[in-house]
Amino acid sequence: MAGADARATALLSPRRLLLIAALLVAVVIAFFAAQSLANSAVYYLTPTEAKDKHIGPGVPTRLGGLVLPGTLKYEPTSRTLVFAISDGTTNVAVVGNGVPPALLKEGAGAVVEGSFAEDGTFRATSVIAKHDEKYAPPSPGATPAHNTP
C-alpha cells in the first residue's frame, strides 16, 4: 500500500505519462482529420467548379450560388420553377418543380440538388434557400416579413 501511495503521489507516474502521450496522439489525429476533412468534404459545387469538372448529364450533383437577379420565375399552375444560379463567373439555368422556399429570392443564396440534362440545364429535384448570418430589424418604412410561411 505504501508503494502504491508513493506511485500515486509522484507527479509523473507512468500512468500520467501515458495520459500525456495519449493526449498528444489525440491532438495529432485531430489535426490531420480536420485538415483532410477540410480538403475533401464537398457539400456543393459552384457552377464554375461543375463546368471545370465536366459533370456529365444524369450525375447526381449539388450546385450552390446566388439566384441571378431578373431570372427567378415561378409558374403556379404547372408548379414550374425556373431561375439561373450564378457564382459571378458561370451561370447555370435551373429548372425545378414545386413551391419555392419563402427565402428563395433574387440575389440571395441557394443550393440545388439534381443533375444536368443533355441540353446543359440543371434539373433540380430539390431547391434549398440559403440565408446569411446577418440579423437586423426592417428599415423604417419597409414592411416586415411578419409571417414567413
Q: Could you tell me the three cell numbers for 40?
A: 475533401
Does position 2 interact with another protein (CB under 8 A)? The reply is no
3-state SS class at 66: strand
Are 42 and 64 in contact, with CB atoms under 8 Å apart? no
Among 14, 37, 76, 77, the residue binding another protein under the rule CB under 8 A is 37
Contact 123, 115 (CB under 8 A): yes
Size of the chain, expressed as the number of residues it contains: 149
Instruction: Work out which of 6, 7, 8, 79 binds another protein, going by CB under 8 A.
Output: 8
Q: What H or E segment, with its residue span, contains residue 126?
A: strand 122-129
Q: Which of 19, 21, 24, 117 binds another protein (CB under 8 A)?
A: 19
Q: Which residue reads 457552377 in cell numbers? A: 47
**129 contributes a contact to another protein by CB under 8 A:** yes
Using CB under 8 A as the binding rule, the residues of this chain from 47 to 106 that contact another protein are 64, 100-104
Among 2, 3, 14, 41, binds another protein (CB under 8 A): 41
Chain positions contacting another protein, by CB under 8 A:
8, 15-16, 19, 22-23, 26, 29-30, 33-34, 37-38, 41-46, 64, 100-104, 111, 126-139, 142, 144-149
